[in-house]
Amino acid sequence: MESLATRSCAGVPALRKTLVSAHGCEALELDYELKLVLFLTARIDGETNHAEKEFAAEVGRKIDWSAAHDRLLEARVFAQPGYDLSALRFGKQHAAWGEQLFRVAAGMVLADGSIHSDERLFLSNLTYQLLGGDTVRAEQILARLESGEDEPVNPVPPKMPKEDLETCLAELAKLAGLANVKAEIESLVRFLEINKAREKHHLKGAAMSLHMVFSGNPGTGKTTVARIVSRIFSALRVLDNGHLVETDRLGLVGQYVGHTAKKTDDLVNQALDGVLFVDEAYALVAGGENDFGREAIDTLVKRMEDHRERLIVIVAGYPDDMKRFIATNPGLQSRFTIHLNFEDYTAPQLVAIFKGFCATNQYTLAAEAEIALETQIAAELAAAGRGFGNGRHMRNLFEKAIRKHAVRLCLRKREWTKDELSELNSEDLA
């Protein structure tokens, strides 16, 4: 148990310190998220057993939680109104912290020596909440914790299967909204196809930088599209592998002189022959002239030039912030020539996203529930400001709805029809 806890939370103390000092995160809120993940994971398959309690206690010792601190956090967790993964705010905002929370959850799942089906479903939900849906990374973490292997210093990227181009484009087309983004990507794809065909006939191909800026509010599909784009580049043989490496300021910027260049180099090395996706890239220039974020940008620009044939970089963030970010460095302006604007979803598109989650998970939406959902979304859009969750918010609503649906069924009887088990009504959306 001690070994599992050590592997599960090895990076927590240093990462927590960095988040507090460099990003202004509140230490108590980070500890609360960690405690909440431990609490929920232990209970997802029923009452907490002895092994799970031992694992939670061992994690607390590894990260130096005092008994008083632990009781305070537990009181906050019990005051939580329900099973709500949207409370993991910092885990969703910072990729490295999200991965650490997932690692601790995976350790808790493995604590009693078996993985229950409810636990696997919970890990699947956490994969989308904390790892951006990166199921390959989730399985790597789980497998390494289970086998006792340490994380490699420079992880070897997974070998991506070669896919059919039209299959990737069809997947892009299925996404709700994003008409302008889809049109721009298809235009780029057809240009690259023609370029390849010209080369076969010994005609000169037009040189074009493929680094991209994705501008849009959170939850508008930027990460999802980046994953599909990396597969498209692989299908076109623009990239040899086409894997996606996701990061943010925390993954690129170090804490002392010289540290940042190495961190950035390591990430670029992982991304070679694939795509490096930098979320909230504007944060690299948020600290002023003397901030180490400038060093990360300089290092990244140099590596982009050194590996023009092996690396594509996508930077993403709020529209206005991304304009300022690109304007800070002439090297960025000359290399990022493709700008895609991810518009907020309309109310009908958000309803379609919710219904998509229903279809994927074999639920249906009653007619009155669909009307209630449309009304609710319209009101939320009218009140929304910067940072509204958009598509991500729909996932959270869906997860809340299926939990309420489960409680509603269990409170009334213990035998259910197929229709009762699959239909969400307006009560579940309240």
258-278: average pLDDT: 88
**Are the C-beta atoms of 429 and 388 separated by less than 8 Å?**
no
Q: What's the confidence (pLDDT) of residue 185?
A: 95
Q: Distance between the two ends of the chain, CA-based, in angstroms?
A: 41
**Are the C-beta atoms of 172 and 342 separated by less than 8 Å?**
no
CATH classification for the domain delimited by 165-342, as one of 3.40.50.300, 3.40.640.10, 3.40.50.410, 3.10.20.30: 3.40.50.300
pLDDT digits (tens, 9 = 90+) for 213-244: 999 988 888 988 999 999 999 999 999 988 88
* This prediction's pTM: 0.69
pLDDT digits (tens, 9 = 90+) for 74-116: 888 877 656 667 788 888 888 889 999 999 999 999 998 878 8
User: Nearest CA to 5 among 64, 62, 53?
Assistant: 62
CATH classification for the domain delimited by 347-429, as one of 1.10.8.60, 3.40.50.1100, 1.10.1740.10, 3.20.20.70: 1.10.8.60
Token reading at 401: 């709805």
CB crowding 226-263: b at 16 or more within 10 Å, else e:
bbbbbbbbbbbebbebbbbbbbbbbbbbbeeeeebbeb
Residue ranges of domains in the chain = 2-147, 165-342, 347-429
Token reading at 370: 């669909």
User: Nearest CA to 369 among 411, 393, 344, 405?
Assistant: 405
pLDDT digits (tens, 9 = 90+) for 37-88: 998 888 887 778 899 899 999 999 888 888 888 888 888 887 765 666 778 8
Q: Which residues contact 342 (CB under 8 A, 6 or more apart)?
A: 178, 181, 214, 215, 216, 217, 220, 221, 222, 225
Q: What's the confidence (pLDDT) of residue 354?
A: 92
Reported in sequence order, the residue ranges of 343-393 that DSSP labels E, i.e. its strands, are 364-365
Token reading at 61: 């010792």
Same topology for domains 165-342 and 347-429, yes or no?
A: no
Q: What's the confidence (pLDDT) of residue 387?
A: 59
Compute the mean pLDDT over every residue in the chain, rounded to the nearest whole number: 86
